[in-house]
Every structure is written in structure tokens, then in C-alpha cells.
């Protein structure tokens, strides 16, 4: 994992300053979208039961990136595999705590705006928000 671009960088009408940024979007009810200068990564979430969710992920690269063996798309995939495994560990441990009879929900950190937004939208959909 070098931290360098994995392939062809987006160009066109995109400002130069945005060609080095990643943007993350959360679309209810089940899509997480990561836009990077050189690829797109998305996750589809499908509830299995009250304690389990199936997550499907896909990486999208420009065809020229895939055709050129000098590009290293494995960097992006390895980075997100590592990051996701760390996140899954946190989520699994949190789920154990939430399942406890003694669990009391607390406030989100200001840095947790996306999970808080998902909670609000879920409550709205259930007629409770």
C-alpha cells in the first residue's frame, strides 16, 4: 500500500483541488459510496437478521487503468480490506455491548454525523422521528 494513485486520475471539468480528494456519501437505505480521484468504491448493505448485515463491495476503475499493467489497483483493494476489517471488528464489539441488558445509548461524537443521520432517517421511516 503505497498511498499513490492506483490508476488514471479523473480529469475534465473537475477542479484541480478536487482531483486529490475523496468524497464519501451515504444514501439511505443501504448504499455507501466512496469517490476517489482514481476509482470508485461502493458498498451495498443487506440486513440478514437483527444482528447481522451482508455487505457487498465493488471497486470501479477506468478501463484504461485496468488495461495498463503498470497500474497497481491492488493498493486500493488492500487498503480498503485492511480498513474494513478494522471497522468490522469495532462494529462487532459494539454490537455485543448493544446486546447487553445494561446497555444505555449515549450521544454520538460530533465526528459521527453519518451514523446519527442514519438513526434519524430510520426513526423517520418507522414513524418515530
- Which runs of E-coded beta strand occur in the chain? 23-27, 31-35, 40-49, 52-60
19: exposed, middle or buried (Cβ count in 10 Å: 0-12, 13-18, 19+): middle
Residue 42, SS3? Answer: strand
Q: If you average pLDDT over residues 82-109, what whole number do you get?
A: 88
Q: What is the pLDDT of residue 34?
A: 93
Write out pLDDT tens, residues 10-27.
777 778 888 888 999 999
On whether the CB atoms of residues 107 and 42 are closer than 8 A, the answer is: no
Residue-wise pLDDT for 26-85, tens only, equals 998 899 999 999 999 999 999 999 888 999 999 999 999 989 888 888 888 898 899 999
The predicted pLDDT at position 14 comes to: 79
At 9 the three-state DSSP class reads: coil
Amino acid at each position: 500500500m503505497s498511498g499513490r494513485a492506483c490508476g488514471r486520475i479523473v480529469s475534465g471539468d473537475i477542479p484541480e483541488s478536487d482531483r486529490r480528494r475523496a468524497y464519501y456519501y451515504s444514501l439511505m437505505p443501504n448504499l455507501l459510496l466512496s469517490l476517489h480521484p482514481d476509482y470508485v468504491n461502493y458498498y451495498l448493505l443487506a440486513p440478514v437478521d437483527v444482528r447481522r448485515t451482508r455487505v457487498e463491495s465493488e471497486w470501479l476503475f477506468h478501463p484504461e487503468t485496468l488495461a495498463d499493467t503498470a497500474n497497481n489497483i491492488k493498493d486500493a483493494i488492500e487498503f480498503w480490506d485492511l480498513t474494513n476489517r478494522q471497522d468490522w471488528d469495532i462494529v462487532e464489539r459494539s454490537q455485543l455491548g448493544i446486546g447487553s441488558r445494561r446497555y444505555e445509548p449515549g450521544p454520538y461524537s460530533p465526528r459521527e454525523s453519518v451514523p446519527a443521520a442514519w438513526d434519524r432517517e430510520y426513526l423517520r421511516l418507522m414513524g418515530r422521528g
